[in-house]
Chain A
Amino acid sequence: MIQMKKVKVVYRSSDTVALDGVSMSIDEGEFVFLVGPSGSGKTTIMKLLTGEIRADAGQIVVNDFDMRHIKVRKLPKMRRTLGVVFQDFRLIDNMSVYDNVAFAMRVTGARNKKIKQRVPEVLALVGLEGREKRMPKELSGGEQQRVAIARALVNNPRMIVADEPTGNLDPVRSLELMLLLEKINEDTGTTILVVTHEKELVNALNKRVIYISEGHVLSDRKGGYFDETEQ
């Protein structure tokens, strides 16, 4: 699913070493938290996984795609194996809830019949049945993030990567969202990688946690333990 070996990323513009020999492995069906302070390299890892940037050294394989050497024209195909969820939801404002979710299927060339069948299914799965015609701005933050999760899920991706998905939500909505991701993981077997700062949430879910700081993996353990002071 994700294989990283001694991955190094240097931002030339600021001469910053963002990742320095990072290795990790995430298997099919796992639920993993990636945690660490600001500037630790979490976002860089997200960008590597989605093909926004390339590693300067090391090896990185995502869903069988070699991300160091992948051709630009192959990126869309690779991205369809991933569902990405962002802190700021990133919904298309002038599209309805239905169209935002359907859009992710349309880019794959899915037929209308299949879209009409699948979109209501995933909207129901994330608890948004009956909201198909609403526009994103008519929804609460929690609902918007559910739309983003539905969009990430609609193509049956092998993995969902969520970058600070609860950053704009209150604690109750944050927990609901994490429980939703956990349910998706358990029901569908989709691998989930969540980048977060939320210590309580991480501990509440009791999952595997990878702690990263200053471009190095400092700890990788099962059990949902997350305490920055321990490092």
Chain B
Amino acid sequence: MRLNSSAYLIREGFRSIGTHRFMSFASVAIIMACLIIMGSFSLVTENINAAIHALENQNEVVAYIDETLSEDEARALQPQIEAIDNIATVEFVNRAAAMQNFMSNFSSYVQEGIDETVFRNRFVITLEDITFMAQTKVQIEAISGIGAGNVLAHLDYAKAFVTIRNVVSVISLVMIALLTFISIFIMTNTIKLATFSRREEIAIMRMVGATNSFIRLPFVVEGLVLGILGGALGFAATAGLYQLISRRVVASFGEALFNVVPLSQIALPMFAAYMALSVVVGVFGAVNAIRDYLKV
């Protein structure tokens, strides 16, 4: 195809958006609406996953150090713990700090005369993935100076969290896949409907000797532009809604109780997903819609 023709066809694609204003508007609106619904659900899922992850991090593992080791000897074990896979953070708590922590929680129940020698030096450890808590526990116990039976890990809690996380992941995956499928179906059908009104135009193009690629290119340009518009507007609307709702949630419940995933953290992948989906739907929707009219 000559450059001359390509430039003309690209111009035609843009012109056609203006000429078929209503259907263009309908296509963009539908793409936008589908993306908002799909994106909102994904954001809710993302926040639930983040909340579960935050709760998981609170499920700490405590490694008690052999009483015969001095504080300096106990501290020296830290690199060995950190070297284990799946360790996220390691914090050393000496006897004095452990007692202070204990007293702050249980001072009213404790008789006077308790001293810090009752407590052991310890490491408070968080894990990257609590699914492997049991294995990590065994590895920590294997360190000389800690030993078997000296690591406190709530394996039952971990198991419960893992189950909840898996159930949420499966449900959200199924829902997102279902919504994506429904959205693609609705979006491509809207484009198909928009193209149906132009079948006569396509028939005329064929009759005067236009090749399929000549007929297709303006529709591809149109689908691309409508897809980009729908994707960008859909992203802007979803981001705006998310900011608004997250501010309200934080204002109502407080940041400590409900930690909303910041928009800046998810904006880029979300924008990329929106644009990719809307462009693919716009272009392939248009190509698919006119395919039937190009057969003869």
Q: Is the CB of A79 within 8 A of B4?
A: no
Residues of B within 8 Å of A111, CB to CB, are 4
Q: Given A90-B200, A109-B5, A111-B4, A151 and B19 touching (CB < 8 A)?
A: no
Q: Is the CB of A106 within 8 A of B207?
A: no
Q: Is B8 an interface residue (CB 8 A)?
A: yes
Question: What sequence of 0s and 1s flags, for each residue 175-214 of chain B, a beta carbon within 8 Å of any chain A beta carbon?
Answer: 0000000000000000000000000110111111111101
Q: Is A107 an interface residue (CB 8 A)?
A: yes
Q: Is the CB of B209 within 8 A of A50?
A: no
Question: What sequence of 0s and 1s flags, for each residue 1-31 of chain B, a beta carbon within 8 Å of any chain A beta carbon?
Answer: 1101100100000000001000000000000
Q: Is the CB of B209 within 8 A of A104?
A: yes
Residues of A within 8 Å of B296, CB to CB, are 51-53, 72, 75
Question: What sequence of 0s and 1s flags, for each residue 141-168 of chain A, a beta carbon within 8 Å of any chain B beta carbon?
Answer: 0000000000100010000000000000
Q: Is the CB of A76 within 8 A of B2?
A: no
Residue with the greatest number of chain A CB neighbours at <10 A, chosen from B1, B2, B200, B207:
B207
Q: Is the CB of A80 within 8 A of B200?
A: no
Q: Is the CB of A104 within 8 A of B208?
A: yes
Q: Is the CB of A107 within 8 A of B214?
A: yes
Residues of B within 8 Å of A76, CB to CB, are 206, 209-212, 214
Q: Is the CB of A109 within 8 A of B208?
A: no
Bound: A106/B217 CA distance, A: 13
| Chain A min CB distance to B248 (Å) | 47
Bound: A91/B208 CA distance, A: 11
Q: Is the CB of B207 within 8 A of A84?
A: yes
Q: Is A219 an interface residue (CB 8 A)?
A: no
A sample of 23 cross-chain residue pairs with beta-carbon separation below 8 angstroms, ordered by A number, consists of A50-B207, A53-B296, A76-B211, A76-B212, A79-B206, A79-B208, A79-B209, A80-B209, A90-B200, A90-B207, A92-B201, A92-B204, A94-B19, A107-B205, A107-B208, A107-B209, A107-B214, A109-B2, A109-B4, A109-B5, A111-B4, A151-B208, A155-B209
Question: What sequence of 0s and 1s flags, for each residue 45-61 of chain A, a beta carbon within 8 Å of any chain B beta carbon?
Answer: 00000111100000000
| Chain B min CB distance to A41 (Å) | 19
Instruction: Using CB atoms, name the residue of chain A closest to B20.
Output: A94
Residues of B within 8 Å of A92, CB to CB, are 201, 204
Q: Is the CB of B204 within 8 A of A107?
A: no
Q: Is the CB of B207 within 8 A of A79?
A: yes
Q: How many residues of A contact B (CB 8 A)?
A: 27
Residues of B within 8 Å of A75, CB to CB, are 296
Residues of A within 8 Å of B4, CB to CB, are 109, 111-112
Residues of A within 8 Å of B209, CB to CB, are 76-80, 104, 107-108, 155
Question: What sequence of 0s and 1s flags, for each residue 249-292 of chain B, a beta carbon within 8 Å of any chain A beta carbon?
Answer: 00000000000000000000000000000000000000000000
Q: Is A65 an interface residue (CB 8 A)?
A: no
| Chain B min CB distance to A148 (Å) | 10
Question: What sequence of 0s and 1s flags, for each residue 80-124 of chain A, a beta carbon within 8 Å of any chain B beta carbon?
Answer: 100010000011101000000001101111011000000000000
Given contacts A76-B206, A94-B19, A108-B209, 4 further A-B contacts (CB under 8 A): A51-B296, A79-B208, A109-B1, A109-B2
Bound: A76/B1 CA distance, A: 14
Residue with the greatest number of chain B CB neighbours at <10 A, chosen from A75, A78, A106:
A106
Residues of B within 8 Å of A73, CB to CB, are 211
Q: Is the CB of A106 within 8 A of B5?
A: yes
Instruction: Using CB atoms, name the residue of chain B closest to A94.
Output: B19
Q: Is the CB of B204 within 8 A of A90?
A: yes
| Chain B min CB distance to A195 (Å) | 15
